[in-house]
Amino acid sequence: MDNEKISDLLLQSISDGYKLGIVTGKARRSLLISLECLHMNDLFDVIITGDDVAMSKPHPEGVNKTLEQLNIKNTEGVFLGDSDADILAGKQANVHTIEAQWLPQLPDIRVS
């Protein structure tokens, strides 16, 4: 999925009335630079970075903080992640969790 399609998905979600949050292990400064470059800096209602948590993913602290700041219950949220740590964090927060694969699958290469 390319950046344009991801952006379209986010914009459609906002248009449909969903609140959006980010939970990342990145430092806030680094994330804000990335969001600016991607023209996504105004899309999110809540941003939780590695600077905002004591326990990083797969611990659910970041997901739980996001739910709290969005003022929604875990049963009302959906967590979309692209790593094993994301999936574990979402499941441990008891949030409906979806695994995304943004890049095409690479062939399985084995070296003997």
- Within-domain flag for 43: yes
Please list, in sequence order, all residues whose beta carbon lies within 8 angstroms of the beta carbon of residue 20, skipping any fewer than 6 positions away: 10, 13, 14, 43, 44, 45, 46
- Within-domain flag for 110: no
Q: Has residue 2 got a pLDDT over 70?
A: no
pLDDT at 112: 39
- Within-domain flag for 22: yes
- Within-domain flag for 79: yes
Average pLDDT over residues 7-18: 93
- Within-domain flag for 112: no
pLDDT at 7: 87
pLDDT digits (tens, 9 = 90+) for 27-70: 999 999 999 999 999 999 999 999 999 999 999 999 999 999 99
- Within-domain flag for 109: no
Domain carrying residue 25: 3-99
Structure tokens at 50: 């590695």
Q: Has residue 1 got a pLDDT over 80?
A: no
- Within-domain flag for 21: yes
- For residues 77 and 70, give the distance between their C-alpha atoms in angstroms, rounded to a whole number: 9
Which pTM value belongs to this model?
0.86
Q: Has residue 74 got a pLDDT over 60?
A: yes
The total of structural domains in the chain comes to: 1
User: What's the CATH code of the domain at 89?
Assistant: 3.40.50.1000
Q: Has residue 104 got a pLDDT over 70?
A: no
Q: What's the count of helices (H) and strands (E) in the chain, helices before strands?
A: 4, 4
Average pLDDT over residues 84-108: 84
